[in-house]
Structure 1
Amino acid sequence: MLVLRLGVNFTQEEKNAVKWIEKNFGEDVLKYTIILFTHADALKGKPVEQYISKSNNLQQLIKTCYGRYHAFNNENRENQDQVTELLKIIEKMINFNGGKHYIKKNE
């Protein structure tokens, strides 16, 4: 799970972190990655897709993670629906990967 905060720009430091993950764990690691945006409350009711559409870098990152992302509202921590939705995304990812966990291929 790659956790990013909504409402701030996708920074160079975060881009470098993604590159580091790919370099050290292999490109296939992104098949097993879900992007979790925090602070969805900062969007003030606007859909997260609207926020994503304004950033080519975020769009590309989501694409490399096979479109898997979810957003948590930090002000509504009692909302179990957001947890349930995340668990559904995790389950779909597991099924997509044949029920197998990630193993870095030897180079």
Structure 2
Amino acid sequence: EKLNVSLAKQGVILTSTSPLDFSFPKNVQEIFAKLVESKVRALADLENARTQVATARTLKNAAELMKGDENLKFFQFLETISRIASKGSHSFVIGTDSLKRIKILF
């Protein structure tokens, strides 16, 4: 309104204005930057948490499947023996139950 009075003295009538740019003080700009950064970090943390939950659920389901399966346990046993054997020269003695199981599988 003060601008209209000042311009009217010079014979100019102002009908409308529209701002082009806003400039905020440095401390307000820093607050905006921190807000954006915290939102991005929160979204990343949420995605990581969802991934961890999905991984835990998958591992739980796999463990439940393996819990009662003797063949899977035996293959785990063979894999463990293979890992140990690959790290050096070792001798293994396997019981007769395991040998019977090997004959059945092959």
TM exceeding 0.5? no
Superposition TM-score, scaled by structure 2 size? 0.26
RCO higher in structure (CA 8 A, sep ≥6): 1
Higher strand fraction: Structure 1 or Structure 2?
Answer: 1
Larger Rg, first or second structure (1 or 2): 2
Superposition TM-score, scaled by structure 1 size? 0.26
